Amino acid sequence: MAERGFNIKKQTGFGTIAITCFVLLYLPIILLVIYSFNAGQSIAIWEGFSLRWYVSAWGNQQVQDATIRSLVIALWAAGISTAVAVMAALATTRTRSFKGQTAVFGLINQPLMVPEIVTAVALLIFFAMIKVATGYTGLFYLIIAHSAFCIPFAYLPIRARLMGMDLSLEQAAADLYASPWQVFRRVTLPQLWPGILAGAMLAFVISLDTVVITEFVKSAGQDTLPTYMLGQLRRVITPEINAISTVLLGISVLMVIAFTLLSKIRN
Amino acid sequence: MAANPPLSPEARAARTRWLLLAPAIAILIFAASGPLLITLVYSFLTPGDFGGIEWELSINGWFNVFAQRDIFTDELGWSDAHLSIFWRSVKLSLMTTALCLFFGLPTAYFIATRPKKSRDFWMLLIIIPFWTNLLIRTFAIMELIRNEGTINTVLLWLGVIDAPIQMLFTEFSILVGMAYVYLPLMVLPVYASMERLDFSLVEAGYDLYATRLKVLRRVILPLVKPGIIAGSILVFVPSLGAYVTPRVMGGGNQLMIGNLIELQFGQGRNWPLGAALSITLLAIVMVALVFYVRAAGADSKKDGPHG
């Protein structure tokens, strides 16, 4: 035990398992990206570099429609969930504990606790009733379902930012007879925007990735990119799916990095 | 506004608070909590002939969760099909949790013992998959292990095997898929505990002639237990309710609870049963969460306010 250079932080085998873990975590993703550039039909035999699957995905009308639909829903859901999350975060941080607080937190965090399949089934049942009653089958259902699901994801970073902020500035503004709206507009908001942006990006990514809820809520012909891909898995798989995945993957990675940088911005 | 009777500051603050909360609450009741209540009601109704329901009370939905009547003899018995699916879900979720712990714990320890500057980089490597589309990650691991996939192609090329090994569409592939997609959920909380680990305690262990294994078992693991419990719950709960991964990796042969639920809204056309199964799944998840809160609460009590 007393050999020279004894490292107390070393645990035998942990380093090996950790490196194996990182390799296993990234190998499938890297292979997925590599084969999206394959010239051949296969996702396992390399036949040379080509962008043909990106071209074919781009030219596929279904993919185009699904992409636009995914983006429209994600933008709406991110916008709505962030807006209501900012208000909810203000209401729950700039106050002492209040009656009904537990219920409010439970409600906001419900999408995180209830299994997605259960939420999806519940929405299917409820929206089926409304669809029959009103005859309306548009995108509203998907937008509102995604918005609700994204609220906790937008709420948490905004709330974290609000809790970390210096209250004395807001108090000073209030002492100088600023109205609550002026305090928010001129003092709180300028400090809060990194949190808001982070929350909005998180909500956007979550909406873009949501599969199960979309699969159950969508009406006929309302495929988003993930549900389109899920449907394609039953057929012969070509690298076209890899190409679509790579693009989505790229968006996620960019968002995560931006999110990480944003949460590092200090007041 | 001026016409309003003057309100006390507290009352005004309360009014502002609820006005600010109103839109979020409205959306969440409309598209999260309300539908859940309706699902509970649906579980007590009669299935319609072509899906949907008849407004007629019935407990058959709940009855069919675990039991069934023999179609020939009308005899009452356990629903073996459902029980085996529930058993598979619990079994695979526990195995997924164990597998994630086996890889996640050393990984979290590895990151926590890196120099401070490089920790952010290693954590980013864990966070990127965490925020990456679950379907894409499931798909990536599927491409690796399917018959025409990378592993089989390489093994065939090397001459190790003559015919591809059937790995996809088995319980094994579901396990691998779930462990792969949920691994970051284990690493994140375990790392959060590891990061605060006081290594002077580890040093004290060695000074007292403990072996590495003993230090791990008697010093490190007890100190990071809250992280391990949190990570295990975070992996177990979504595994139990998994739908996409078993569908893609199990190919419809190896159903889990999530797929069984979906079946009732598709070919099964038994919405009340599907609703009852959903509520059952939710109940199991809630029990797991309560267990977690209890365990976490007991731990923080034991360790005092800073534990």
What pLDDT is attached to residue B7?
Answer: 74
Q: What is the average pLDDT value for chain A, to the nearest integer?
A: 90
Q: Which among B32, B131, B216 is the nearest to A148, CB-wise?
A: B32
How far apart CA B303 and CA B291 sit, in angstroms, is 18
d(CA B134, CA B144): 16
Cβ B150–A44 below 8 Å, yes or no?
A: yes
Is the CB of A9 less than 8 angstroms away from the CB of B202?
Answer: yes
CB B32 within 8 A of CB A196: no
The DSSP letter of residue B131 is T
A249 touches chain B (CB under 8 A): yes
Let me know the angle formed at the C-alpha of B125 by B94 and B222, rounded to the nearest 5 degrees: 45
Q: Which chain B residue shows the shortest CA-CA distance from A94?
A: B17
- List the beta bridge partners of residue B49: B51
**CB-neighbour burial class of residue B115 (10 A; exposed 0-12, middle 13-18, buried 19+):** exposed
DSSP labels, B55-114: EEE-SHHHHHHHEEE-TTT--EEE-HHHHHHHHHHHHHHHHHHHHHHHHHHHHHHHHHTS
At B239, is the secondary structure helix, strand, or coil?
helix
The C-alpha torsion from B21 through B24 and B29 to B32, rounded to 10°, is -140
Does residue A226 fall inside a structural domain? yes
B112, closest residue in chain A (CA to CA): A9
Beta strands B53-57 and B45-47: pairing type?
antiparallel
* Residues 6 or more apart in contact with residue A205 via CB below 8 angstroms: A251, A252, A255, A256, B131
Give CA separation, B260 vs A123, B272, B281, in Å. Answer: 17, 13, 11
Residues 6+ apart with CB under 8 A from B120: A260
Q: Which residue of B has its CA nearest to A105?
A: B25
Is B107–A9 a contact, with Cβ atoms under 8 angstroms apart? no
Whether B198 contacts chain A with CB within 8 A: no
Give the best residue of A118, A211, A234 to mutate against chain B (max B CB count within 10 A): A118
Of the candidates A194, A193, A192, which has an alpha carbon nearest to the alpha carbon of residue A264? A194
223-282 in chain B: CB under 8 A from chain A: 237-238, 240-241, 243-244, 247-248, 257-258, 261-262, 265, 271, 274-275, 278-279, 281-282
The helix-helix angle for A101-113 and A61-93 (nearest 10°) equals 160
Supply B48's token pair.
């319609």
Inter-chain CB proximity A211 and B244 less than 8 Å: yes
- pLDDT per residue, tens digit, chain B (307 aa), is 455 667 787 888 888 889 999 999 999 999 999 999 999 999 999 998 877 888 889 888 898 888 887 777 777 778 888 999 999 999 999 999 999 999 999 999 999 999 988 998 999 999 998 888 899 999 999 989 988 888 888 899 898 888 888 888 999 999 999 999 999 999 999 999 998 888 888 888 888 888 888 888 898 999 899 899 999 999 999 999 999 999 999 987 889 999 999 999 988 889 999 999 999 999 999 998 888 888 777 766 555 444 3
Q: What is the pLDDT of residues A224-233, one digit of tens each?
A: 999 999 998 8
With a cut of 80, say whether residue A95 has pLDDT above it: no
> How far apart are alpha carbons B240 and A115 in whole angstroms?
8
Rounded distance between C-alpha atoms, residue A75 and residue A215, angstroms: 19
Please give the C-alpha separations between residue B263 and each of A168, A218, B51, B299, in angstroms, as whole numbers: 56, 17, 11, 41
Token pair of A52 as six digits: 């043909």
**DSSP letters for B243-290:** -HHHHHHHTTTS--HHHHHHHHHTTT--HHHHHHHHHHHHHHHHHHHH
CB B246 within 8 A of CB B258: yes
Which residue from A110, A111, A130, A154 is spatially nearest to A217, judged by alpha carbons? A130
CATH of the domain at A73: 1.10.3720.10
Q: What is the phi/psi pair of residue B77, to 5°?
A: -160, 170
Kindly state the tokens that stand for B77: 């018995």
CA distance B21 to chain A (A): 5
Contact residues, chain B, for A84 at CB < 8 Å: 23-24, 27
Task: Give the mean model confidence (pLDDT) for residues A247-256.
Answer: 90
Q: Is the pLDDT of residue A1 over 50?
A: no
What SS3 string covers chain A? Answer: CCCCCCCCCCCCCHHHHHHHHHHHHHHHHHHHHHHCCECCCCCCCCCCECCHHHHHHHHCHHHHHHHHHHHHHHHHHHHHHHHHHHHHHHHHHCCCCCCCHHHHHHHHHHHHHCCHHHHHHHHHHHHHHHHHHHCCCCCHHHHHHHHHHHHHHHHHHHHHHHHCCCHHHHHHHHHCCCCHHHHHHHHHHHHHHHHHHHHHHHHHHHHHHCCHHHHHHCCCCCCCHHHHHHHHCCCCCCHHHHHHHHHHHHHHHHHHHHHHHHHHCCC
| Class of the domain covering B83-302 | mainly alpha
Number of domains in chain A: 1
Q: Where are the domains of chain B?
A: 83-302
Nearby residues of A141 by Cβ (< 8 Å), 6 or more positions away:
A123, A127, A130, A131, A217, A218, A219
For residue A164, give its domain range: 54-264
* pLDDT, tens only, A20-60: 999 999 999 999 999 999 998 888 788 889 999 999 999 99
Which residues on chain A are in Cβ contact (under 8 Å) with B20?
Answer: 87-88, 90-91
Picking from A3, A8, A95, A143 by the largest number of B CB atoms within 10 A of its own CB, the best residue to mutate is: A8
Q: Which of residues 18-57 of A touch B (CB under 8 A)?
A: 18-22, 24-29, 31-32, 35, 42-45
- Judging contacts by C-beta atoms under 8 Å, the chain A residues touching residue B275 are 121, 125
Question: What pLDDT does residue A41 have?
Answer: 86
Q: Which residues 92-131 of A have a C-beta within 8 angstroms of B?
A: 92, 95, 98, 104, 107-108, 110-111, 113-129
Which residue on chain A is closest to B258 by alpha carbon? A117
Q: Record the pTM.
A: 0.90
Token pair for A218: 């969508």
A8: pLDDT strictly greater than 80: no
pLDDT at A35: 92
Task: Give A221 to chain B, closest Cα distance, Å.
Answer: 17
- pLDDT tens digits, one per residue of A132-173: 999 999 999 999 999 999 999 999 989 988 988 888 888 898
d(CA B229, CA B291): 10
- A33 is a domain residue: no
pLDDT value, residue B300:
63
Q: What CA–CA distance (Å, rounded) separates B186 from B231?
A: 4
Residue A3 counted as domain residue: no
